[in-house]
Amino acid sequence: MPAKLSVNLNAIAMLRNRRDLPWPSVTGIGRIALAAGAHGLTVHPRPDERHTRHSDLPEI
């Protein structure tokens, strides 16, 4: 079975949250990753929303 790539978006979300700015865009990076051939996207929502926010999930 060949390996498949799933891009973890938590690091992108963490950068966005540290700057308190809307960029880098978690959904934008997700779209780029899928267009480049990634097979999936991975997020690990945390209760404290330190990385991915619950509001990100419907868009992803």
pLDDT confidence of residue 31: 95
| pTM of this prediction exceeds 0.95 | no
The model's pLDDT over 14-51, given as tens digits with 9 standing for 90+, comes to 999 888 777 889 999 999 999 999 999 999 889 998 88
Q: Kindly tell me if the per-residue pLDDT of 54 is higher than 80.
A: yes
pLDDT confidence of residue 37: 96
Q: Which residues contact 48 (CB under 8 A, 6 or more apart)?
A: none
Nearest to 59 by CA among 46, 47, 41: 41
Query: Which of the four pLDDT bands, split at 50, 70 and 90, describes residue 57?
Result: confident
pLDDT confidence of residue 29: 95
